[in-house]
Amino acid sequence: VNRRTIRQPVRLSGAGLLNRRRVSVVLKPGRTGQGIIFNERIKATPGRASVKEHTTCLGRGRNRVCMVEHLLAACAGLGVTDLNVESTGGELPFCDGSSLPYFSALDQAGVVELDAELTPLTDVGSCLARDKTGFLWAEPAPCLRITCIAALLGYPGPDELSLDVTPAVFAKGLAGARTCGPLAEELRVFRRRHGIGFRLVRRGGVVYPKDERMEAEPVRHKILDLIGDLWLLGRPVCADIYASFPNHKLNLAFAREMEAQ
């Protein structure tokens, strides 16, 4: 596998999830080997990541950029390793709550191979991270496979799924999986602010998209988030991963554990 970047810049804008302002992001080609760099100074690594209000953030204080996981997941899905990200407003646009807008933008900008090889992370030993309710566990394997069971209050569909994460599976079965979560705001107001064209429903205190794009969409989104957080490692992971009730904090602890191997 080679490192990859994009051919030309591409821009996305929309409402932020956290501060409710309109925010925008420009994705630009990166130099070979630089990694994914936010606002010219923050490199995407597990060590620079933190969690705020259920989103993954990079950097600190005024330089912090939140909600980076759906962009990182899109980069993982397309194998983009070297990228410059210029963000305004302290967070990336929420869009439809999936990775698809980022995936499409990168795809449109043209993903190109760079003249440098990328070594996947295979030596995962028996990495383990856990908290009060869940755990993440990895075993060495030739390809990435993720088995996930999620806590989905009120969701009537399957809450468990096992996937071989190939580029095709990512494009068709993960990129478009939308998020779900607690939401204090009125659904109508939230939809208008984010320009969301699909219906939402509140179940057991959690808000879900009403009509599913794919079966088990919420658990697919949990897998998507994990893929995004693991892309902080800067290279693909070849492992069998078992994720039981994952969340961003747990994902980051797991990424740090893998990095230390």
Which residues of the chain form contacts with Zn ion (CB under 5 A)?
A: 179, 225
User: CA–CA distance from 170 to each of 37, 99, 107 (Å)?
Assistant: 23, 10, 13
120 burial level (CB within 10 Å; 0-12, 13-18, 19+): middle
Least distance to Zn ion from the beta carbon of 91, Å? 13
Single-letter code of the amino acid located at 97: G
Least distance to Zn ion from the beta carbon of 1, Å? 25
* Catalytic residue of the set 70, 194, 221, 248: 248
Q: Give 73 or 237: the residue with its C-beta nearer to Zn ion.
A: 73
Positive or negative: CA dihedral 227, 194, 245, 162: negative
Q: Give 81 or 99: the residue with its C-beta nearer to Zn ion.
A: 99
Q: Give 225 or 240: the residue with its C-beta nearer to Zn ion.
A: 225
Known catalytic residue: 70? no
For residues 113 and 6, give the distance between their C-alpha atoms in angstroms, rounded to a whole number.
8
Residue 131's region, left for phi above 0, alpha for psi from -120 to 50, else beta, is beta
Least distance to Zn ion from the beta carbon of 181, Å? 9
Least distance to Zn ion from the beta carbon of 85, Å? 17
7 burial level (CB within 10 Å; 0-12, 13-18, 19+): exposed
User: CA–CA distance from 223 to each of 71, 177, 260 (Å)?
Assistant: 14, 9, 22
Q: 237: which strand partners?
A: 121
Q: Give 91 or 225: the residue with its C-beta nearer to Zn ion.
A: 225
Residues carrying an active site annotation: 248
